[in-house]
Amino acid sequence: MSPARRLPPAAQALIDGDRRALARLITGAENDDPGAREVLRAIYPRTGHAWLVGLAGPLGVGKSSLINALLAHLRSLGKKVAVVAVDPSSPFSGGSVLGDRIRLDRPPDDPGIFIRSMATRGHAGGLARATREVARLLEAAGFGIVLVETVGSGQVDVEIRQVATTSVVVLVPHLGDEVQTLKAGLFEIADVFCVNKSDLPGADRARRDLTELASLGSVDPGWRVPVVATSTTIPSGIPELWQAIEAHEHYLDSSGKRLEGERRRLTQEILALAESRFVADLSRDPSLPRRVEPVLARRIDPETAARRWWQERRKGRA
């Protein structure tokens, strides 16, 4: 983009640190509002450098409490930090509860903090898309660190990898069943393991078990997944948790993996966006109702109908 090109006023307000503009644009992005789309386009070239730290893990392990503790730690280091709490529409983790809990011990007018909770409304890929867009708005507004909390349903947790530059998997002592869950999915997304509630019995054991698991190999052979023990009640281990996150972010830079990860995430994002357009386009195709009939009459199966449709459309465009 040429520097002479003027930004839309809302984008300029965002970059100038206007928090109301930021809040409005986030709502606009969630609602797919054309004004927000225009701003997202305009700011895009300025984005892509933020640290997006995802905290994933089963219900109640202390993700919100850890975010609260990390917020305090990061503010003491003078860093600006934003929090996005993803609420997959469950009444259990109502945004206000989450927000209140996180905000609890922060000055309400601290300009170095921005907290937002979002509902994914059950759309497949909804978390990834909405979170990435919100993160871009936050980055343009000067928040270079964005912490993302997700609730521990497997689906959402895997999606976090399409968003986060560093994924922290939070667990608690007495892993038992959770180690099985890990094998099924969470293990593959961890860049950092956090054993929270280490004030409870069994923490050392859990830490050893996880360290052993982590040593079996990670998704990225160049990165040894650290295991950090924390407690938000004592509190302890919070600076160490941040150090582990920072170390991973620095590793991404020194190894060239940041670009690789961004390429993977953008590929996914473009595919998902193109797919939703294609699907919308197809569902408006006037030939659709007559294609259903032979399938309904059991003359052909759905797969054959879909394949023929696809082939005809390809020919039509050749």
Ligand X SMILES: Nc1nc2c(ncn2[C@@H]2O[C@H](COP(=O)(O)OP(=O)(O)OP(=O)(O)O)[C@@H](O)[C@H]2O)c(=O)[nH]1
* Site for ligand X, rule CB under 6 A: 59-65, 93, 151, 196-197, 199-200, 231-233
65 binds, among ligand X, Mg ion, none (CB under 5 to 8 A by kind): ligand X
Instruction: Pull the structure tokens for residue 226.
Output: 């650290």
Closest distance to ligand X from the beta carbon of 162 (Å): 20
Nearer to Mg ion, 157 or 209 (CB): 157
Given 64, 120, 181, 230, the residue binding Mg ion (CB under 5 A): 64
231 binds, among Mg ion, ligand X, none (CB under 5 to 8 A by kind): ligand X
Nearer to Mg ion, 95 or 239 (CB): 95
Closest distance to ligand X from the beta carbon of 109 (Å): 24
188 binds, among ligand X, Mg ion, none (CB under 5 to 8 A by kind): none
Closest distance to ligand X from the beta carbon of 8 (Å): 36
Q: Is 120 in the site for Mg ion (CB under 5 A)?
A: no
Nearer to Mg ion, 64 or 181 (CB): 64
- Per-residue contact string for residues 18-57; x = within reach of Mg ion by CB under 5 A: ----------------------------------------
Closest distance to ligand X from the beta carbon of 53 (Å): 15
Q: Is 150 in the site for Mg ion (CB under 5 A)?
A: no
Q: Is 117 in the site for Mg ion (CB under 5 A)?
A: no
Strands (DSSP E) along the chain, which ranges? 51-56, 81-87, 113-119, 145-149, 166-171, 192-195, 227-229
Q: How far apart are CA 46 and CA 268, in angstroms?
A: 20
Nearer to Mg ion, 59 or 266 (CB): 59
Output the residue with the shortest Cβ distance to Mg ion.
64
Residues that bind Mg ion (CB under 5 A): 63-64
